[in-house]
Structure 1
Amino acid sequence: MPLKQDASSRTVITLNIILPSVSLAFLLVRNFSRIWYLRVTGWDDLLFNIGWVFTAALNAAVCYSAKMATDIEGRPFTKSDGIRALQLLWIVQVTYLLSNFFVKSAYLAFSARLASTGIYFKASRAALIFNCCLFTGCLFAGIFGCTPVNFFWDRSIKGGTCINIRAFYLANAFLNAFMDIITLVIPVCIIWTSPALTLQKKARISALFFLGTMTCICSIMRIPGFVETLSQGRNTDWNLRESTTWSVLEVNVAIVTGCIPAIKPLIGAMLGHATPMGSGRNRGPQIPGVGQSGRTDAWAMRRHEGDYHASVTAEEGGLHGRGCVNKRRAMNGDHIVLEETLTVEDGRWDTSSSQSILSSTSPPKQRSLGP
């Protein structure tokens, strides 16, 4: 048994080194694509990066739990071992809540930027607010669920009390799974309600988002181990290590899945399926019929119907309007920047790229931007 557990510990440690390394590689490519190639950033970029930091901390905690389980194997499980295990569980739950919050918020911020109609933008904002409220409540319960706090890992303290820990984990799990579904459904609904995309493109783009169903599965699979950790008096380090493996799988897979749409334009350019980049401040895709002066300092930004407008006005023969100023307005307030990152192929802009991929109206010859 010790040899089996020692081998399993090495497997868990290896997994928790590989997972954050892979997600970091995807995140760095995403940052390169968004910041240098597309030259446009949003709140989701910042949130994904912060989420990875807490995810790496979660991976480190799980690695340490695997090492602890190996160290105490072969000797009686003592009270101090149980205290250390529950201290680690407390750290794991806090880092997991933080990483999960920032990654989900990044998805919802992306959906808000992608939305072209008021209903989906409002749905994204409402889900983001709900996610913030859920995170605040769960984090407060996770940190201060026991009074005093150290009663969580040391039940010998007299007068200490705790909330129902099992109920807390189960409630958090179901709410977390619900938010996973919401973060997947909103962008898919946006894509499928777009009249500017063909059925084939809708299916292909939706497949990218549905890779995130793995996060829902991992979120559900981690619950039994957590409940068992708190209900058993045997080697809780071992139980904790097994259950938290699902947690780190969940957040790392979510980061990788969230990076794919932003990486797609860069890969397309490398394979010759997207318009080449410009140089200097004019780096960006070529807008057909606009000419060299029509290169933008972001991807393609278009106006669409409703209260949310893009930041560049394009017309045949050149680019007009206050592109840079409106770009900042689009990111900071009443406007949304729409990026045509999912519809560029075959070395040219297709017909759907002459307008927002989500616009329901055909583009006029000239588009102007309101003040």
Structure 2
Amino acid sequence: MSTIGLGYGHGARGFSLWITSVVMVILAGAVVVARLLQRWQKKMIWWDDYLITAALCFSVLLTVTECSAVKYGYGRHHSDLAPEDAIMARKWWFGAQFAYKIALMLAKSSICAMYYRFFKSASKWFRWSCHSMQIFIISSGIAFLFGTAFQCRPIAAFWNPSVKHSCFRDSAWWISYAVVQILIDVLLLALPISRVFRMKISSSERFGFIFLFSLGLFATATSIIRATTIATSASNPDITWGPIPATIWAVIEANTTIIVGCLPLLRPVFMLCFTWSTKAMTSYTTGKDVEAGNRLPRRFTDSYSANHVVDISGRQQGRDVELFNGLHGVHMLSLVEVSSERACSDDGISFRNYEAE
């Protein structure tokens, strides 16, 4: 094996890819761990948590494959590498393409699953939209995985161009994948925003929710930036040096998607910046309806706490009470309808979201 590809030789780019891969997976890992700790403490681990954990595992695999490719010279000029090192570098990069696509698919599937948790009482139309998005994310992801595997015939021609072969045009193939990912990002962003605008909440509360879900714009931005690097990366005849810019942005894109997929569930940390969080906290700790200035009935203020949900019963038909909903780990303002029957479910208390259907 030749000298390690971390910055050696004229114009070497390997170190940039290596450091980006390591830093981004550490950041993504820290955010996912924080999310899982919060969910575990509340005993509310669900499918979106499993999916984001799987996405992180493939992101780790992406880092391993990218760093291994750099080790064999990926990021250096092809003419500077021994033939066997160039082949090994391309083999590792071939594996990295699968890890990248699977990590991205799982992360976006997790975000879509998270919407089921956030909008449990949403309309049938919204739930079917989420179902359709999941199908689109998974089916397109699998299709591109097959395309990646068979982009060259025979497959070995991908890492050994000396073999007689027939391959896709790299630029068209990469751009088509980027366009589909940008489309998915836009649809994932539009789904919750449309629901937030229909919620019966104040303007400051609505802005807070929109801000949280709009964090997905960061992932969309990385997808767009990566798309702008594809033309020059794919058309470069230097097969171990030319694709580096697009590869770096692919690493950033996958890990950024994982990070922004976790941030809404870490809402208590970020929402301290918004005044509506303080209002909601004051509402249930003092027993006052901050917006209306009315005190809540004592039976509600005495029995509801931040740490556990208690059984509430009574004969106050149709009374709407503003509470700070801790169910499912998402502290959202909700309306509670208390009837003459027990208003408890398996999770504690039955909630109806602040939504206008």
TM-score bracket, normalised by the shorter chain, equals: 0.7 to 0.9
Cα deviations across residues 51-87 of structure 1 (Å, max 9, x unaligned)?
0111121122333344444895697345445433432
Q: Relative to total residues, which structure has the larger strand share, 1 or 2?
A: 2
Aligned partner (choices 242, 248, 268) of residue 239 of structure 1 = 242
CA distance in 1, matches of 2:158, 2:38: 44
Which aligned pairs between 1:31-110 and structure 2 lie closer than 5 A? Answer: 31-37=36-42, 39-69=43-73, 76-77=80-81, 79-110=83-114
Query: Are the equivalent residues in 2 in contact too, given 1:107–1:258 (CA < 8 A)?
Result: yes
Q: 1:186 offset after TM fit, Å?
A: 0.7
CA change 1:25–1:171 in 2 (3 A) is same
Task: Answer yes or no: is the 8 Å Cα contact 1:44–1:110 preserved in 2.
Answer: yes
> What CA deviation, in whole Å up to 9, does each residue of 1:163-212 have, x standing for no partner?
343322111111111001111111111111212x2111111221122222
| Paired residue secondary structure (2:172) | helix
Q: Letter of the aligned partner of 1:145 in structure 2?
A: Q
SS at match of 1:222: helix
Q: How does 1:265-280 map to 2 (within 5 A)?
A: 265=268
Tell me, yes or no, if structure 1 residue 323 matches structure 2 residue 346: yes
Distance change >3 Å, CA 4–CA 193, structure 1 → 2: farther
Give the conservation status (yes or no) of the 8 Å contact 2:219–2:253.
yes
What residue ranges of structure 2 are gaps of 5+ in the alignment?
1-6, 286-298, 311-324, 329-333
* Alignment partner, residue 157 of structure 1: 163
Question: What TM-score do you get using the length of structure 2 for normalisation?
Answer: 0.73
The range that moved more, 160-169 or 173-182, is 160-169
Q: Is the 8 A contact 1:111 1:187 kept in 2?
A: yes
Aligned-partner SS, 2:327:
coil
Partner residue in 2 for 1:288? 300
Letter in 1 for 2:46: G
Q: Mind listing any 5+ residue stretches in structure 1 that lack a counterpart?
A: 277-286, 302-309, 328-336, 339-353, 361-371
One-letter amino acid of the structure 2 residue matched with residue 291 of structure 1:
S
SS at match of 2:354: coil
- 2:10 aligned with 1:26: no
Distance apart, 1:135 and its partner CA: 0.9
Letter in 1 for 2:136: F
1:1-371 mapped onto 2 (5 Å cutoff): 5=11, 9-37=14-42, 39-69=43-73, 76-77=80-81, 79-115=83-119, 116-158=122-164, 160-195=165-200, 197-223=201-227, 225-234=229-238, 236-265=239-268, 288-289=300-301, 291=303, 295-296=308-309, 299-300=326-327, 315=338, 320-323=343-346, 355-360=352-357
> Judging changes above 3 Å, is the alpha-carbon distance between structure 1 residues 90 and 229 closer, same or farther for their aligned structure 2 residues?
farther
Shift of 1:127: 0.9
Which segment drifts farther, 218-227 or 251-260? 218-227
**Superposition RMSD in Å:** 3.8
Q: Is the 8 A contact 2:105 2:137 kept in 1?
A: yes
The one-letter code matched in structure 2 to 1:133 is: S
Question: How far is the alpha carbon of 1:239 from its aligned partner?
Answer: 2.8
Contact 2:78–2:240 under 8 Å retained in 1:
no
The C-alpha deviation readout for 1:87-113, integer Å capped at 9, x for no partner, is 233212211110010001011111233
Give aligned pairs, total.
310
What SS class does the counterpart of residue 53 from structure 2 fall into? helix
Counterparts of 2:213 and 2:10 in 1: how far apart (Å)?
Answer: 38
- TM normalised by structure 1 equals 0.71
- Displacement after TM superposition at 1:228 (Å): 4.2
> CA 1:83–1:109 in 2, change beyond 3 Å: closer, same or farther?
same
Contact 1:221-1:246 within 8 A present in 2 as well: yes
Deviation at 1:241, TM superposition (A): 3.0
Deviation at 1:320, TM superposition (A): 4.5
CA displacement at 1:322 relative to structure 2? 4.7
Inter-partner Cα distance in structure 2 for 1:94 and 1:70:
17
Q: Per-residue CA shift, 1:245-271, capped at 9, x if unaligned?
A: 1111112112221211211237779xx
For 1:13, what is the secondary structure of its paired residue?
Answer: helix
The answer (yes or no) to whether the contact 1:55–1:99 under 8 Å persists in 2 is yes
Secondary structure of 2:28's aligned partner: helix
State which drifts further: 100-109 or 212-221.
Answer: 212-221
